[in-house]
Amino acid sequence: MTISFDLSGKTAIVTGANTGLGQAIAVALAGADADVALVGRSSMAETEAAISAEGRGKCLTIQADLSTIEPVQDVIDQTLAWSGRADILVNNAGIIRRADAVDFTEADWDAVMDVNLKTVFFLSQAFARHLIAKSQPGKIINIASLLSFQGGIRIPSYTASKSGLAGLTRLLACEWAGKGINVNAIAPGYFETNNTEALRNDPDRNSAILGRIPAGHWGRPEELGGAAVFLASAASDYIHGVVLPVDGGWLAR
């Protein structure tokens, strides 16, 4: 049996592809020869340039504000109109709000839950409906978090959303595995992204976090790409409902 990570002939949708982890995942999928629909609410010119530099795979930019489910079907429709197919969905778009639990507002709770959990479910639903109607296999990769396993501090809605996403990943895997749809998640550790800038700029928090990471450094976004390509490829065809930590060994310590 030949094990292949080749994604040629496949089309992926990556949300939050403008920067950070989403950008790195989109570039990695394109590097494995997938065509990639880049979804986000801000410019994705940098991601497009990085994919172009790879010289493999083509990309489409879809402007969408995923704070509501309104653009969900349009994301699927634009991808299909462009490529004629949709094989891989990476639910990466997410936001975070920080405050002590006793001070946390309803607005901050709802904003995070809407992007990180509600829209993820309904975009996955729209994607799966298309696959099932076509009797076509596919891959869904959710971007979870270490907070899918741990509590954290001062991020109650983020922790709730990422814990919920781990559960949702398992539920959808149970329902859709028999239909040829793999649903798995990646749980990134502490990576160098916009979401962690405040932590990296705090000397005490930065030192404490680094002190627990066996790998000895904050994750670089490109270090997440391999896991995404694996879960998007035929090499993971018998993997369903897994939440895969990519954390430099954080959870092992």
Strand partners, 182: 139
Break the chain into its structural domains and give their ranges. Answer: 11-195+224-245
> What is the spatial distance between Cα 134 and Cα 93, in angstroms, rounded to a whole number?
26
Neighbours of 205 (CB within 10 A): 13
Distance separating alpha carbons of residues 159 and 96, to the nearest angstrom: 9
pLDDT at 1: 65
What pLDDT does residue 3 have?
A: 86
CB hemisphere CA count around 64 (13 angstroms): 28
Q: How far is CA 189 from CA 86, 93, 160, 217, in A?
A: 28, 16, 17, 11
Alpha carbons 230 and 221: distance in angstroms, whole number: 16
147 DSSP assignment? G
> Cα–Cα distances in Å, from 128 out to 29, 122, 181, 182, 232?
20, 10, 8, 10, 15
**What residue ranges in 28-123 does DSSP mark as E strands?**
35-40, 59-63, 88-91
Q: Are strands 11-15 and 88-91 parallel, antiparallel or unpaired?
A: parallel
Phi, psi angle pair for 13, to nearest 5°: -115, 125
pLDDT value at position 247? 98
Position 2 scores a pLDDT of: 79
pTM for this prediction: 0.97
Distance CA 74, CA 134 (A): 18
Q: What secondary structure does DSSP assign to 121-137, as a single string?
A: HHHHHHHHHHHHHHT--
Residue the block writes with tokens 């781990």? 166
- Average pLDDT across each block of 10 residues of the chain; the chain has 253 residues. List them in order: 90 97 97 97 96 86 98 98 98 96 98 98 99 98 98 96 98 98 98 90 95 97 97 98 98 96
Question: Is residue 148 a contact partner of residue 168, using CB atoms and an 8 Å limit?
Answer: no
Residue-level pLDDT at 101:
98
Alpha carbon distance 242, 231 (integer Å):
10
Residue of 119, 152, 246, 106 lying closest to 160 (CA atoms): 152
- Enter the CATH code of domain 11-195+224-245: 3.40.50.720
Instruction: Give the active site residues.
Output: 158
* pLDDT of the residue at 54: 79
The C-alpha R_g of the chain, in whole angstroms, comes to: 17
